[in-house]
């Protein structure tokens, strides 16, 4: 797609200038990274699946009134989004102890949390995405207290909705990471959900077996990474019953 100007190349996606002002094209790559880029690899077909899964989840969230950057999917690996001013925070919502939370507090993975916990991390690869408090966020001007209230309330709505949606297809939503951006419309500013929601940014465990169906399979060399992403898509009804048969086939081409 040489006709578009590339704006940014990240770890999992490339951003191109969109067809109209104020829009961007997100191109989903198969590249996978973990532990802040120390581990790198490729998950074949991941970009195609994450494009589809993120489209699906953003559309469903849009239907319940959560504002998102998503406009429409363009093809197998690209989606059109509204360009936003990204708030430099990774907002993590947790329902079950896993990953860094389990480590920091000595909890065994899988311990249900007494209530869901929202955490803020400063988005900076150079600093290793340090965890920050609301004090840091407002003092350094990354977001105002009003922005924080809005992000908190959106994050909780998103969590409630996605927990139910995944539960309906036999998946436990253990935790996830989201990003928000500011969308300006004249004098108005709206905070919208941006970036992506996919098995790269969520922990998803099979309700029955406890099997991991997300990027932890890559992080921990568990194998079956492609299959796990495909299974998430299949359960969400994005892949045909026959399964991944052909990622290049008509089902994903539309
Ligand atoms: N609607 C948007 N407008 C502007 N930037 C966005 C939008 N959605 C996501 N982004 C940014 O685009 C980048 C997506 O590429 P990714 O590979 O995930 O990057 P990174 O390596 O920084 O995580 C992220 O930095 C994300 O913050
Ligand atoms: Mg990213």
**Are the CB atoms for 34 and 201 separated by under 8 Å?**
no
Which is nearest to 197 in space by CA: 221, 218, 175?
175
- Pairwise CA distance, residues 213 & 41, whole Å: 17
- Asked whether residue 1 is domain-assigned, the answer is no
- Asked whether residue 252 is domain-assigned, the answer is no
- Asked whether residue 28 is domain-assigned, the answer is yes
Collapsing DSSP to helix, strand or coil, 218 comes out as helix
Mean pLDDT along residues 20-37: 96
Same domain, 193 and 120: yes
Same domain, 20 and 75: yes
CATH code at 175? 3.30.470.20
CATH code at 16? 3.30.200.20
Residues with Cβ within 8 Å of 1's Cβ and at least 6 positions away in sequence, in order, are 16, 25, 27, 78
Same domain, 114 and 184: yes
Ligand 2 centroid – CA 172 distance (Å): 22
Q: How far is CA 128 from CA 11, 90, 94, 109, 165, in A?
A: 14, 12, 20, 22, 31
Same domain, 106 and 164: yes
Ligand 2 centroid – CA 242 distance (Å): 31
CB of 46 closer than 6 A to ligand 1? no
pTM comes to 0.94
CB of 81 closer than 6 A to ligand 1? yes
What pLDDT is attached to residue 239? 80
User: How do residues 57-116 score in pLDDT, each as one tens digit?
Assistant: 999 999 999 999 999 999 999 999 999 999 999 999 999 999 999 999 999 999 999 999
The total of structural domains in the chain comes to 2
Same domain, 191 and 232: no
- Asked whether residue 219 is domain-assigned, the answer is no
CB of 195 closer than 6 A to ligand 1? yes
The token pair at 162 is 């996605």
The parent domain of residue 237 ranges over 6-84+224-242
pLDDT-based confidence at residue 4 (cuts at 50, 70, 90): confident
CB of 12 closer than 6 A to ligand 1? yes
What pLDDT is attached to residue 250? 45
**Are the CB atoms for 131 and 71 separated by under 8 Å?**
no
Considering only residues 240 and 147, tell me which one the structure prediction assigns the higher pLDDT: 147
Ligand 1 centroid – CA 114 distance (Å): 32
């Amino acid at each position: 797609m040489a006709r578009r100007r590339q704006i940014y190349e990240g770890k999992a996606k490339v951003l191109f200038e969109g067809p109209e002002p104020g829009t961007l094209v997100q191109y989903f790559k198969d590249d996978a990274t973990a532990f802040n880029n120390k581990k790198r690899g490729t998950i074949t077909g991941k970009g195609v699946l994450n494009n589809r899964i993120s489209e699906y989840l953003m559309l469903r969230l849009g239907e319940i009134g959560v504002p998102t950057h998503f406009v429409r999917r363009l093809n197998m690996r690209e989606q059109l989004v509204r360009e936003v001013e990204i708030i430099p925070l990774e907002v993590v919502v947790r329902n079950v102890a896993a990953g860094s939370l389990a480590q920091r507090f000595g909890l065994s993975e899988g311990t249900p949390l007494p209530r869901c916990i929202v955490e803020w991390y400063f988005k900076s690869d150079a600093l290793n995405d340090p965890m920050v408090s609301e004090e840091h966020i407002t003092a350094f001007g990354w977001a105002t207290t009003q922005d924080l209230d809005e992000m908190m309330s959106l994050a909780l709505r998103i969590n409630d909705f996605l927990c139910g949606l995944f539960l309906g297809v036999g998946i436990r939503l253990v935790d996830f990471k989201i990003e928000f951006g500011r969308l300006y419309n004249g004098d108005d500013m709206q905070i919208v959900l941006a970036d992506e929601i996919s098995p790269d940014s969520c922990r998803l465990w099979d309700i029955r077996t406890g099997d991991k169906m997300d990027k932890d399979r890559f992080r921990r060399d568990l194998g079956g990474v492609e299959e796990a992403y495909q299974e998430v898509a299949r359960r969400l009804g994005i892949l045909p019953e026959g399964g991944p048969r052909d990622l290049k086939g008509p089902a994903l081409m539309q």
